[in-house]
């Protein structure tokens, strides 16, 4: 791989090259990983009022091989969401020291009370064009995905409003039936957030939104492959039904991700961290503590997926969902020099964003 001015200028058999040479002959060179759904990590969160939080999050993600991400919000009062989206827009415009902010993913507040999971039910509400416009404007048009429950009143009109502006309408935290899910796909929903989790499950007489997602080719799925959210057999089922071109691995990491086991606070509520498990006191899953390299390892080692397919789901597929291909998600001439280097034990050795190394592992 040869890089010139932040762009891949050559990709192919090794040849003599001028300039600075970094030798990773024994390692795996991958397109940079892109996380479409990440709230926080290492004590930083998208919703934090601290203007440095997103920079810290970008550094943490880069150490896990992520070169680009969508800063993800959670259900909250309108004023807090507007403020968070303004910070995301400013951080994206100014740049971050690690992974690049590619925009915002707004998860809630237009979700199902029944399937809210760890989201704050006190702030769940109906979608209105006035609030959609306020959130989109605050984001400076950096909003790329919005997760909402399609069975709720005005959700279908909201999806059409989002699609008109190039925002991906995602079904999530939803109790939609199979028929309601198909109707949502007809109205522009093309994405299912943290598939299986926070949604009506599969039943042989009422397949629900899960059944619709597995069998309808119009929609992409997110999978949280952390060994907690989804059983390996269910991960494998999604792969058999959809294939790697329709599945994006996401972390759904939250603020305490990467921190030692213990009790922490998110949005004024206590969560318990034990290994990769992050839960509310009642045991409800409250996000994950992984990064995308961990999801890749889970897909290969536990779900039996080929490494090339797992890497595709962490790079090319999310890039395509964001309409960033061929500029991102590929290692070919003319693409951005966003590169992740790993070894055969799933250890991130180097993360390169725009041709610049933003993370380099210490020598063992």
**What's the pTM?**
0.97
Tens of pLDDT, residues 222-267: 999 999 999 999 999 999 999 999 999 999 999 999 999 999 888 7
Name the pLDDT band for 118 (thresholds 50, 70, 90).
confident
Task: Please report, in angstroms and rounded to a whole number, the separation of the first and last CA atoms in the chain.
Answer: 25
Domains of the chain in sequence order? 34-331 (3.20.20.140)
Query: Pick the catalytic residue: 35, 175, 252, 336?
Result: 252
**Residue 154 annotated among the catalytic residues of the structure:** no
What's the rounded mean pLDDT across residues 159-165? Answer: 98
Place of tokens 């007489």: 205
Tens of pLDDT, residues 179-233: 999 999 999 999 999 999 999 999 999 999 999 999 999 999 999 999 999 999 9
Name the pLDDT band for 18 (thresholds 50, 70, 90).
confident
Tens of pLDDT, residues 331-364: 999 999 999 999 999 999 999 999 999 999 998 7
Tens of pLDDT, residues 277-287: 899 887 888 88
Sign of CA dihedral 226, 95, 20, 14: positive
The whole-angstrom separation of Cα 32 and Cα 38 is 16
Q: Which of 118, 22, 8 is nearest to 67 (CA)?
A: 8
Residue 51's pLDDT is 86
The whole-angstrom separation of Cα 183 and Cα 163 is 15
């Amino acid at each position: 791989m040869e890089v010139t001015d932040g762009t891949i200028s050559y990709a192919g058999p090794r040849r003599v090259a001028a300039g600075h040479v970094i030798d990773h002959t024994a390692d795996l060179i991958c397109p940079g990983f892109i996380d479409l759904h990440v709230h926080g990590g290492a004590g930083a969160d998208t919703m934090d009022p601290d203007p440095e939080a997103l920079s810290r999050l970008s550094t943490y993600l880069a150490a896990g091989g992520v070169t680009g991400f969508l800063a993800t919000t959670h259900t909250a009062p309108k004023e807090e969401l507007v403020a968070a989206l303004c910070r995301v827009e400013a951080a994206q415009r100014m740049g971050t020291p690690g992974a690049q902010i590619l925009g915002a993913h707004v998860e809630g507040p237009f979700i199902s009370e029944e399937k809210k999971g760890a989201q704050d039910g006190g702030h769940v509400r109906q979608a209105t064009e006035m609030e959609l416009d306020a959130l989109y404007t605050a984001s400076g048009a950096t909003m790329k995905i919005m997760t909402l429950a399609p069975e709720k009143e005005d959700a279908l009109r909201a999806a059409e409003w989002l699609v008109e502006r190039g925002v991906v309408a995602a079904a999530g935290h939803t109790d939609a039936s199979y028929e309601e899910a198909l109707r949502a796909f007809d109205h522009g929903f093309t994405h299912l957030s943290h598939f299986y989790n926070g949604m009506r499950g599969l039943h042989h007489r009422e397949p629900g939104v899960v059944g619709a997602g597995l069998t309808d080719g119009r929609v992409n799925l997110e999978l949280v492959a952390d060994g907690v959210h989804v059983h390996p057999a269910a991960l494998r089922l999604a792969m058999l039904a959809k294939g790697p071109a329709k599945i994006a691995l996401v972390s759904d990491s939250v603020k305490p991700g990467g921190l030692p086991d213990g009790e922490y606070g998110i949005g004024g509520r206590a969560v318990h961290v034990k290994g990769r498990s992050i839960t509310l006191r009642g045991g409800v899953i409250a996000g994950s503590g992984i990064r995308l390299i961990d999801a890749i390892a889970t897909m290969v080692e536990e779900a039996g997926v080929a490494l090339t397919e797992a890497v595709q789901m962490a790079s090319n597929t999310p890039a395509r969902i964001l309409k960033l291909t061929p500029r991102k998600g590929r290692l070919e001439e003319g693409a951005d020099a966003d590169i992740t280097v790993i070894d055969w034990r799933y250890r991130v050795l180097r993360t390169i964003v725009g041709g610049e190394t933003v993370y380099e592992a210490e020598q063992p």
